[in-house]
């Protein structure tokens, strides 16, 4: 199935999604990679507010390259999501609903996705230029000293993504290969 979603999203809006579905995502998406996640954890530990509201948010694990003249963003391909696994359950428990990246997630992240009615969506690795075409606006909103890992607020239109983890425990990395082999 193909779904169109606009952020921020609720658990009810994400409930119909199943591992393997296609999503065309529009709205605000925040970028945050390893170092930004580390700073978010430090801020939370100190009781400080985060640079954006987590409720219903979408976080894209990306460190875009510099844009060329006339472009909004440079190449914006996903980074390996597993590097955020230790920090993701906490953000999901605080309201984050959509994570975007590539690669498998650990058991704690999978449990937090189900517990919070969230999803993990895969962006096409190696296709950073394609992903960048969906970005309409970009604003650095926190930690510019992190350079490409600074937190950015992106406005996206029809960003093409695939559901990897759904709110019901579905995992495309588990069911996908079996479905492929069964179709042979």
Question: Does residue 169 contact residue 115 with C-beta atoms inside 8 Å?
Answer: no
Catalytic residue among 33, 37, 102, 152: 37
Q: Counting Cβ atoms within 10 Å, is residue 165 exposed (0-12), middle (13-18) or buried (19+)?
A: buried
The answer to whether residue 168 is catalytic is no
CA-angle at 84, arms to 79 and 114, nearest 5°? 110
**Which residue shows structure tokens 């082999």?**
181
For residues 77 and 44, give the distance between their C-alpha atoms in angstroms, rounded to a whole number. Answer: 28
Q: Taking the mean position of all CA atoms in its chain, how far away is CA 65?
A: 18
Closest CA to 115 of 95, 135, 139: 95
Active site residues: 37
């Amino acid at each position: 199935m193909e779904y169109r979603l606009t952020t921020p999203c609720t658990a009810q809006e994400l409930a119909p999604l199943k591992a393997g579905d296609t999503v065309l995502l529009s709205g605000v998406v925040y970028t945050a990679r390893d170092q930004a996640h580390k700073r978010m954890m430090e801020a939370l530990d100190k009781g400080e507010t985060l640079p954006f509201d987590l409720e219903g948010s979408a976080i894209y694990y990306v460190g875009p390259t510099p844009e060329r003249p006339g472009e909004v963003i440079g190449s914006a391909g996903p980074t390996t999501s597993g590097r955020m696994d230790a920090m993701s359950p906490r953000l999901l428990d605080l309201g984050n609903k959509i994570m975007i990246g590539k690669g498998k997630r650990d058991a704690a992240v999978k449990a937090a996705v189900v517990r919070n009615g969230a999803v993990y969506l895969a962006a096409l690795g190696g296709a950073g230029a394609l992903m960048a075409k969906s970005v309409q606006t970009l604003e650095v909103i926190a930690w510019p000293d992190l350079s490409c890992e600074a937190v950015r607020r992106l406005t996206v239109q029809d960003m093409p993504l695939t559901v990897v983890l759904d709110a019901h425990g579905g995992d495309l990395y588990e069911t996908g290969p079996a479905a492929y082999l069964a179709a042979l």
